[in-house]
């Protein structure tokens, strides 16, 4: 078994006190240490291959420098966080921002009756970012954890937690409005499950608003709700292709849904946009992978992750900043999947 290099070993190698090594390693700004001493300690750290004992540091500071990223598995797709590129992009952005402050990320895809507060205590998390929580009861449970929390993509009225959203309703409106401007009247919606506090409901509301302004009545037969997945989009392509009075346009509330839909339509010998026009939502790299390239509602996922990390770390640093609710802008990016009729 290889012996772990200790602070005492570094002190002996550098010819300084253990306290001095601790000050240098922890970058203490309240202690004045000669530059040559700092250099000697850093060289000793490099020579001996010292790695900080995070467990010991956590015991000493009562902080683990660990942030939990929780993604509730509220849909029936078990691999939701791995099948949708949104989550990978969000995680990458969150980890990048957190690492700047020496925080690490623990990922959890919570399910069922699993308690958020229990997860937080069991894992000794300093703070939590939750993407897509859809129940006020879950929010109350998060508050019981008694640690800083940031809710991402949650439209509930609760106070006492930081929230980061995008203009989901406006995104739905922009998509339907663009179809209308291109001459479409029979416009369908492909979405995840519609829940009161969720982003899908917001996007649905924006879609409905645009249609109502155009004098088009609600048609339940034009609303398709299921899992936000490529597989559901694929299935939906076949369903729409078989409709006697099918829509000329479909707004998908996620790019992954849109890609599946385009493939499903193609399997039924329908072309996009010649036979059916399609708009997605997210405008991640999947939008450029579609053929033709996908018209999509763009959200800045990296910015969403950055703001989420900043709000949580500000709370962890105890800067005395009141809870904030941030709403980021969206826009329509036109490409090749919408036809004027």
Q: pLDDT digit string (tens) for 76-120?
A: 545 555 567 888 899 999 999 999 888 989 887 655 556 777 777
Q: Is 175 left (phi over 0), alpha (psi -120 to 50) or beta?
A: alpha
Instruction: Report residue 137's pLDDT band, with 50, 70 and 90 as the boundaries.
Output: confident
**Delimiting residues of CATH 1.10.260.40 domain(s) in the chain:** 7-52
Q: pLDDT digit string (tens) for 173-182?
A: 999 999 999 9
Rounded CA-CA distance 163/6 in Å is 41
Per 3-state DSSP, the chain is made up of helix, strand and coil in percentages (nearest 5) of 45, 15, 40
Instruction: Report residue 65's pLDDT band, with 50, 70 and 90 as the boundaries.
Output: confident
Q: What's the CATH class of domain 7-52?
A: mainly alpha
Q: pLDDT digit string (tens) for 279-324?
A: 999 998 889 988 899 999 999 999 999 999 999 999 888 766 667 8
Rg over CA atoms, the chain: 25
Q: Which residues pair with 280 in a beta bridge?
A: 296
The confidence score (pLDDT) of residue 59 equals: 44
**Mean pLDDT for the stretch of residues 260-275:** 97
What architecture (CATH level 2) is domain 168-299?
Answer: 3-Layer(aba) Sandwich (3.40)
Rounded CA-CA distance 103/239 in Å is 46
**Delimiting residues of CATH 3.40.50.2300 domain(s) in the chain:** 66-166+301-329, 168-299
**Mean pLDDT for the stretch of residues 245-267:** 97
- Residue 110 near residue 318 (C-beta atoms within 8 A): no
**Mean pLDDT for the stretch of residues 189-215:** 94
Q: Is 338 helix (H, G, I), strand (E, B) or coil?
A: coil
Report the topology of domain 66-166+301-329.
Answer: Rossmann fold (3.40.50)
The answer for residues whose C-beta is within 8 angstroms of residue 282's C-beta and 6 or more apart is: 85, 86, 254, 255, 296, 297, 298, 299, 301
Statement: residue 58 has pLDDT above 80 = no
**Mean pLDDT for the stretch of residues 161-181:** 96
203, 207, 210, 213 alpha-carbon torsion, rounded to 10°: -110
Rounded CA-CA distance 128/117 in Å is 10
């Amino acid at each position: 078994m290889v012996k772990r290099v200790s602070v005492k070993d570094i002190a002996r190698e550098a010819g300084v006190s253990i306290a001095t090594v601790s000050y240098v390693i922890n970058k203490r700004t309240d202690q004045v240490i000669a530059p040559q001493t700092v250099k000697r300690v850093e060289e000793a750290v490099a020579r001996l291959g010292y790695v900080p004992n995070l467990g010991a540091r956590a015991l000493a500071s009562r902080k683990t420098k660990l942030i939990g990223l929780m993604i509730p598995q509220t849909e029936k797709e078990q691999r939701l966080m791995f099948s949708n590129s949104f989550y990978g992009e969000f995680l990458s952005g969150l980890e990048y921002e957190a690492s700047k402050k020496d925080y690490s990320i623990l990922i959890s895809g919570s399910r069922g009756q699993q308690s958020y507060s229990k997860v937080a205590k069991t894992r000794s998390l300093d703070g939590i970012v939750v993407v897509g929580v859809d129940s006020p009861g879950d929010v109350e449970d998060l508050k019981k954890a008694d640690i800083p929390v940031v809710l991402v993509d949650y439209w509930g009225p609760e106070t006492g937690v930081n929230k980061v959203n995008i203009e989901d309703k406006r995104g739905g409106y922009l998509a339907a409005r663009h179809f209308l401007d291109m001459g479409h009247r029979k416009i369908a919606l492909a979405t995840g499950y519609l829940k009161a506090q969720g982003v899908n409901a917001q996007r649905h509301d924006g879609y409905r608003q645009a249609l109502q302004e155009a004098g088009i009545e609600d048609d339940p037969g034009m609303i398709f709700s299921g899992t936000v997945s490529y597989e559901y989009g694929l299935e939906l392509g076949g369903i729409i292709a078989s409709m006697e009075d099918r829509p000329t346009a479909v707004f998908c509330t996620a790019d992954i849904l849109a890609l599946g839909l385009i493939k499903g339509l193609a399997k039924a010998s329908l072309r996009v946009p010649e036979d059916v026009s399609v708009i997605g939502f997210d405008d991640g790299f999947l939008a450029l992978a579609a053929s033709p390239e996908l018209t999509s509602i763009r959200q800045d996922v990296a910015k969403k992750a950055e703001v989420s990390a900043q709000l949580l770390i500000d709370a962890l640093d105890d800067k005395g900043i009141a809870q904030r609710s941030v709403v980021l802008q969206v826009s329509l990016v036109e490409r090749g999947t919408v036809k004027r009729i």
